[in-house]
């Protein structure tokens, strides 16, 4: 077995037994990245100095027989919309092509304290707008299982890095699908965390009421270790919540809901078969499966794409060519500076979001679009409250289809948005959900979505580790 195949627990055991050093492990990863990433395109930049420094710190501790945490010396990739002090943070945008982060995001601070080794920054759709990683201004990240297919978005670089053993784990962000869809497409475990469970400080905002940081990992146990390390209150994020993760150590007799709206028109027969087979296997383990309804699912995409674009348009107003990033200052007046900087700094999907969002928020349309979407959001939340009064967990597909061909949906934004039909309700409700690999269609992996009530990630991890064994 190569070092890059090791899970977090295996790395921890190997380091403690002095079978290899953190530095050797880090170098092995860089070696792998240099051999394979030309083809896959998971990384936008590497942070070799930082990584080796972190690795040496762990090696020093081990040499002195000091206690090390489970993540000490473990190499990871970080989505390039999360700030790592002294490293570039581009958001895969020309606008921030040369921006260097001046501080660590809350989750990065925690990762560094736990001793994790940051290998580099991973590719994404520009400002995390997308489901395929094709909206990056710099490159398309390919799916390691089939290089002609997308890796999923927007955290495609993070998912592909883990799937191709170019990182032991990675962090992504999920606003409407962006940890779960790439995890499903690339066959890794991805968790969208409860809104408020992980700090958003230092995460470049896409849509602030929806964004959450989450882990992408080789298996359920690793994802749980990472979630435990990065979650909790951060005084720098007022929406973060005092939260102490408590692992459930015993199997529980969970009642599991299957929403009928997640199996309607548009779901590929092959994906449906894999998800239904998995449900049967879960039932065979003695879990009670119950059909439920999330009646507002039909409105979720429309509601999400109004709220997401509205918040995004407001968040992106700061990129004006004066305060941050790309600037065309050789103009006659201020308006021309704004127009040239934003016109050339942003890509096409980003401009589309700004225009849609600005429209929904403008006077005369606000009540008809933004306010209406907020009312629908309440209905969607209520669906989950009603469901979790009856069941412990909800399961269903992550996406209606597996990874698609590069270019297949790129020119048709509406068909791309449809990929998010089962994932956006979760962000609108603020609840946590995992994508767990449960099967393949040909070479392409398929994920099962496991959804829990707010702050009940422990239930997700508990059932996911059982399902992981039976599939």
Question: Smaller CB distance to ligand GLN: residue 309 or 458?
Answer: 309
Distance CA 391, CA 413 (A): 35
Task: Say whether residue 203 binds ligand GLN (CB under 6 A).
Answer: no
Q: Which of residues 290-329 bind ligand GLN (CB under 6 A)?
A: 308
Strand partners, 449: 396, 435
Question: Smaller CB distance to ligand GLN: residue 70 or 174?
Answer: 174
Q: How far is the CB of 369 from ligand GLN (least distance, A)?
A: 16
Residue 172 corresponds to which tokens in the numbers above? 């992504």
Residue 190 corresponds to which tokens in the numbers above? 């991805």
Catalytic residue, from 47, 131, 154, 435: name it.
Answer: 154
Q: How far is the CB of 258 from ligand GLN (least distance, A)?
A: 24
Residue 291 corresponds to which tokens in the numbers above? 């059909």
Distance CA 327, CA 253 (A): 58
Q: How far is the CB of 93 from ligand GLN (least distance, A)?
A: 14
Residue 443: count other Cβ atoms within 10 Å of its Cβ.
13
Contact 331, 289 (CB under 8 A): no
Distance CA 434, CA 450 (A): 5
Task: Say whether residue 206 binds ligand GLN (CB under 6 A).
Answer: yes
Q: In terms of C-beta density within 10 A (0-12 exposed, 13-18 middle, 19 or more buried), how is residue 330 classed? A: exposed
Q: How far is the CB of 65 from ligand GLN (least distance, A)?
A: 43
φ/ψ (deg, to 5) at 123:
-70, 155
Q: How far is the CB of 397 from ligand GLN (least distance, A)?
A: 15
Catalytic residue, from 32, 61, 79, 218: name it.
Answer: 79
Q: How far is the CB of 202 from ligand GLN (least distance, A)?
A: 16
Build a one-symbol-per-residue string for 116-135: x at contacts with ligand GLN by CB under 6 A, - elsewhere: ------------xxxx----
Total site size for ligand GLN, rule CB under 6 A = 13
Question: Smaller CB distance to ligand GLN: residue 62 or 301?
Answer: 301
Q: Which of residues 253-292 bind ligand GLN (CB under 6 A)?
A: none
Question: Smaller CB distance to ligand GLN: residue 201 or 206?
Answer: 206
CA atoms within 13 A on the CB side of 236: 12
Question: Smaller CB distance to ligand GLN: residue 33 or 431?
Answer: 431
Residue 355: count other Cβ atoms within 10 Å of its Cβ.
12
Q: How far is the CB of 409 from ligand GLN (least distance, A)?
A: 11
Build a one-symbol-per-residue string for 154-193: x at contacts with ligand GLN by CB under 6 A, - elsewhere: x-------------------xxxxx---------------
Contact 54, 74 (CB under 8 A): no
Dihedral angle sign, alpha carbons of residues 235, 102, 110, 128:
positive
Answer yes or no: 9 catalytic: no
Helix axes 8-16, 22-40, angle to 10 degrees: 150
Question: Smaller CB distance to ligand GLN: residue 154 or 184?
Answer: 154
3-class DSSP state of 190: strand
Answer yes or no: 178 catalytic: yes
Q: Which of residues 373-402 bind ligand GLN (CB under 6 A)?
A: none
Answer yes or no: 79 catalytic: yes
Q: For residue 80, give the nearest of 136, 131, 30 by alpha carbon.
A: 136
Task: Say whether residue 93 binds ligand GLN (CB under 6 A).
Answer: no
Question: Smaller CB distance to ligand GLN: residue 73 or 176?
Answer: 176
Q: How far is the CB of 308 from ligand GLN (least distance, A)?
A: 5
Question: Smaller CB distance to ligand GLN: residue 363 or 411?
Answer: 411
Catalytic residue, from 132, 151, 178, 231: name it.
Answer: 178
Distance CA 107, CA 94 (A): 25
Build a one-symbol-per-residue string for 413-432: x at contacts with ligand GLN by CB under 6 A, - elsewhere: -------x------------
Cis preceding-peptide flag for 388 (omega within 30 of 0): no
Give CA 371 to chain center in angstroms. 27
CA dihedral 105, 429, 420, 36 (to 10 degrees): 30
Give CA 358 to chain center in angstroms. 26
Catalytic sites, residue numbers: 79, 154, 178
- Chain residues binding ligand GLN by CB under 6 A are 128-131, 154, 174-178, 206, 308, 420
């Amino acid at each position: 077995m190569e070092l890059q195949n090791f899970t977090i627990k295996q790395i921890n055991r190997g380091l403690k037994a002095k079978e290899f050093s953190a530095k050797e492990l880090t170098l092995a990863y860089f070696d792998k990245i240099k051999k394979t990433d030309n083809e896959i395109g998971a990384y936008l930049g590497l942070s070799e100095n930082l990584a080796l420094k972190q690795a040496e710190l762990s090696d020093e501790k081990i040499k002195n027989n000091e206690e090390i945490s489970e993540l000490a010396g473990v190499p990871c990739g970080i989505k390039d919309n999360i700030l790592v002090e002294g490293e570039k943070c581009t958001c895969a945008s020309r606008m921030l092509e040369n921006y260097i982060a001046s501080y660590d995001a809350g989750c990065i601070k925690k990762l560094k304290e736990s001793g994790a080794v940051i290998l580099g920054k991973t590719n994404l759709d520009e400002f995390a707008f997308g489901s395929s990683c094709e909206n990056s201004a710099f490159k398309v990240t390919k799916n390691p299982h089939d290089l002609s297919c997308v890796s999923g978005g927007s955290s495609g670089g993070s998912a592909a890095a883990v799937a191709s053993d170019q990182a032991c784990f990675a962090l992504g962000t999920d606003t409407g699908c962006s940890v779960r869809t790439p995890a499903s497409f690339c066959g890794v475990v991805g968790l969208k965390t409860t809104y408020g469970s992980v700090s958003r400080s230092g995460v470049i905002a896409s849509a602030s009421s929806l964004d959450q940081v989450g882990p992408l990992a080789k298996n359920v146990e690793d994802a749980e270790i990472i979630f435990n390390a990065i979650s909790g209150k951060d005084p720098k994020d007022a929406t973060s919540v005092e939260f102490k993760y408590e692992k459930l150590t015993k199997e529980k007799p969970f009642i599991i809901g299957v929403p009928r709206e997640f199996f309607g028109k548009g779901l590929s027969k092959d994906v449906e078969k894999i998800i239904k087979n998995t449900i049967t296997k879960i039932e065979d383990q003695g879990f009670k499966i119950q059909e439920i309804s999330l009646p507002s699912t039909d409105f979720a995409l429309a509601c999400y794409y109004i709220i997401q674009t509205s918040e995004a348009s407001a968040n992106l107003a700061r990129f004006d060519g004066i305060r941050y990033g790309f600037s065309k200052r050789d103009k006659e007046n201020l308006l021309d500076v704004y127009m040239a900087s934003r016109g050339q700094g942003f890509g096409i999907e980003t401009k589309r979001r700004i225009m849609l969002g600005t429209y929904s928020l403008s006077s005369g349309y606000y009540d008809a679009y933004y306010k209406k979407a907020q009312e629908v959001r309440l209905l969607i939340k209520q669906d989950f409250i009603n469901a979790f009064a009856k069941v412990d967990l909800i399961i269903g597909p992550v996406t209606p289809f597996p990874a698609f061909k590069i270019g297949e949906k790129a020119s048709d934004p509406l068909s791309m948005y449809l990929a998010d039909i089962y994932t956006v309700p979760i962000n609108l409700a603020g609840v946590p959900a995992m994508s767990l690999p449960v099967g393949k269609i040909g070479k392409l992996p398929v994920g099962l979505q496991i959804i829990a009530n707010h702050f009940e990630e422990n239930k997700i991890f508990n059932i996911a580790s059982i399902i992981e064994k039976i599939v």
